[in-house]
Structures are given as structure tokens and as C-alpha cells.
Amino acid sequence: MAWLARGSARALLAALLASTLLALLVSPARGRGGRDHGDWDEASLLPPLPPREDAARVARFVTHVSDWGALATISTLEAVRGRPFADVLSLSDGPPGAGSGVPYFYLSPLQLSVNNLQENPYATLTMTLAQTNFCKKHGFDPQSPLCAHIILSGTVTKVNETEMDIAKHSLFIRHPEMKTWPSSHNWFFAKLNITSIWVLDYFGGPKIVTPEEYYNVTVQ
């Protein structure tokens, strides 16, 4: 009977471990980089979308709540030289609730996009509320203009010494994993110098926002 009791105990322990492992696998990650946009993952924490008629404010809002975007550059790869080349990059315009509007990046010369930028610094960045719970909550498809997204065009450059600490704080507070990335990859801080802005947040085509209008917004 003792062996039967031991066998039952092992079976019970195995079942408990299996259920715990399953819960870990299917539970969404929390914090930055997890499902539903990290620090903005709860509806109570995501600020309300600004009025759609205020395109400059909508643009700043989308930039600020975005943790990543798709950056399009001109390829230097021989197979697709001179053609558009897009990649997803983590970004930040500042700590939650204190965005500057400047998209900062943490880049490495090993990245294909960086090779492209070294030859041609012009790039276009797209960010969308599809990365938050906003569009799912309202039933908006990511391609729908109601699922607001913005397109920023300009040049990507390394930040200077006076801006280094701002870029570092902006990125590391929202992407803490970056602190552990291997130094051998020669990471550096960069930003998008915005020259053109398009906002798609409703039907009827994109709204054009000037950089001056964009940066003059007071973020609340």
C-alpha cells in the first residue's frame, strides 16, 4: 500500500506542476514588452484619445503611447538595393506621461536598417494604436483609419552628448531589457529628426501636421 500512496503523491505533484507550467505559458507578460502594451496595458492607464479634429495632439498621443514602430529606409543590400526596406524598432519619446514627441532609438551597426541609414539617413516611421488595447476594445481593424496611426518622415541621426542622458532615460525606463543587451554590439542612441507628419485617424484621407504644430502641443 505504501508504494500505491507514493505513486498517488507523485501523480498529484506532476499534475500540479503541469497546471502551473501551463498557466505561465498562456498568461500574458506584464510590464514593458508584454502583451497589451506594457505600462499602458490596462484600460484605466491608457489616456483617452484626444479629439480627432486636433490632429497635432493625436500625433503626439500616438507617438507617446507607442513602444515600437516600423521604420522604412532605403536598402543597401545588393539583392534589393535602392528599394524600400522596413523593420520594427523599439522606441520611446520619454517616460510615461512625460513625452517630448522625439522618437528615440537604441541602435547597433549590426542592424540592417542602420547599414541603410549610414548611406542614406532619410527614413519614415509608422506608429499605430493597434499596439495598445484601444483598437481591439472598439473593434477597429489595424488598417482602419479609426485605429489611429501616424507617419513621420525625416532623418535618423545619432544624438549628441547633451541629449544622450535624455535619450537613455527615455528608452531604458520603457525598455529596461535594453540595459542587458551585449555591449559588443556597439549600441548607440539615435533619434528621428521629423520634417513631415501625416495623421490617419478618420475617413477622408490623411491630415498633414507641421513639425511646429506637433512640438507645440502641450501633453497632458
pLDDT in tens, 192-217: 999 999 999 999 999 999 999 999 99
Other residues' Cβ atoms within 10 Å of the Cβ of residue 58: 25
3 state SS for 82-109: CCEEEEEEECECCCCCCCCCCCEEEECC
In a domain, 205, yes or no: yes
Residue 60 lies in a domain: yes
**Which stretches does DSSP call E strand in 78-211?**
84-90, 104-107, 122-128, 149-158, 188-200, 207-209
Confidence of residue 11 (pLDDT cuts 50, 70, 90): low
For residue 136, the 8-state DSSP code is: H
Percent of the chain with pLDDT over 90: 75
Residue 3, domain member (yes or no): no
* 44 located within any domain: no
- CA–CA separation, 107 and 94 (whole Å): 17
The Cα 211–Cα 220 span in angstroms is 19
Number of structural domains found in the chain: 1
Domain coverage including residue 207: 49-216
User: Which tens digit of pLDDT belongs to each residue from 83-94?
Assistant: 999 999 999 999
Closest CA to 97 of 46, 132, 137, 169: 46
- Which of 44-53, 58-67, 71-80 shows the lowest mean pLDDT across its residues? 44-53
Q: Give the model confidence (pLDDT) of 103-150 as tens digits.
A: 999 999 999 999 999 999 999 999 999 999 999 999 999 999 999 999
Q: In the numeric block, which cell numbers belong to residue 165?
A: 542622458
pLDDT at residue 76 greater than cutoff 70: yes
CATH number for the domain harbouring residue 115: 2.30.110.10
Sign of CA dihedral 210, 213, 219, 220: negative
DSSP string, 32-70: TTSTTTGGG-STTTSPPPPPTT-HHHHHHHHHHH-SEEE
Q: Is residue 54 part of a domain?
A: yes
- Average the pLDDT over 15-23 and give the result: 43
Position 19 in a domain: no
On average, the pLDDT of the chain sits at 85
CA atoms within 13 A on the CB side of 173: 15
Instruction: Tell me if 157 sits within 8 A of 190, measured CB to CB.
Output: yes
Residue 38 lies in a domain: no
